[in-house]
A = this chain, B = another copy of it.
Amino acid sequence: MNYTEAKDKFISTWGSLGTLWGINKAMAQIHALLWISPEPLSMEDIMEELHISRGNTSMNLRQLMDWGIVFKESKPGERKEYFASEKDVQELARQVAKERSRREIKPVIKVLREVSAIEGDGTKKTEELIKQTKALYELADSADTMMNKIVNQESNWITKTLMKLIK
């Protein structure tokens, strides 16, 4: 496998993984491209490499910046803007975990807490609703707390922790 094959394989695999996990393909592919690029890329560079439109590129770069994993860079003396990925894998993981917790997990935990807190009325179905949503609440809440621990630790806490668990 030469450079171009490897690059294309990585970009397309990353795009598919994104799709599977609810992230749009263009966004995941732009991230992949920047992740392996030694230099920041311009919008033109990205459009050309991935064969996507200017609008699509712009919108997805914006999202990647909202997620905190891509940054704008301006080269001195140039009008054009360049984009660069967060390059540290630990920081990438922290940032993704943090955002998914904030946007997706926390709101669900809130609903689970509310739903599992309704008053029992003596019926079996209400008991079951309370019992099952409470179990989900407790699991989700522990998992989320752990994620946030990770997010707020020094950068290689993840690896250290995983190592500790694995051995």
Q: Is A118 an interface residue when CB atoms closer than 8 A count as contact?
A: yes
B residues near A111, Cβ cutoff 8 Å: 9-10, 13
Overall SS of chain A's interface: helix
A138 to B90, CA, bound (A): 11
Q: Which single member of B2, B17, B115, B166 contacts A146 (CB below 8 Å)? A: B166
Q: Mark A99-111, 1 if CB is under 8 A from B, else 0.
A: 0000010001001
Residues of B within 8 A of A13 (CB): 108, 111-112
A132 → B minimal CB distance (Å): 5
Contact with B along A103-146 (1 / 0, CB 8 A): 01000100110110010010111111100110110110011011
| B139 in contact with A89 (CB, 8 Å) | yes
Q: A108 touching B22 by the CB < 8 A rule?
A: no
Interface string of A1-33 (1 = CB under 8 A from B): 111001101100100010111100000000000
In contact, B142 and A159 (Cβ under 8 angstroms)? yes
Q: Are A17 and B135 in contact (CB under 8 A)?
A: no
A interface residues (Cβ-Cβ under 8 A, vs B): 1-3, 6-7, 9-10, 13, 17, 19-22, 35-38, 87, 89-90, 93, 104, 108, 111-112, 114-115, 118, 121, 123-129, 132-133, 135-136, 138-139, 142-143, 145-146, 149, 158-159, 161-163, 165-166
Given contact pairs A3-B125, A89-B132, enumerate 20 new A-B contacts (beta carbons under 8 Å).
A1-B118, A6-B114, A6-B129, A7-B129, A10-B111, A10-B129, A17-B104, A20-B22, A22-B22, A35-B132, A35-B136, A36-B125, A38-B125, A38-B127, A89-B135, A89-B138, A145-B162, A146-B162, A146-B165, A146-B166
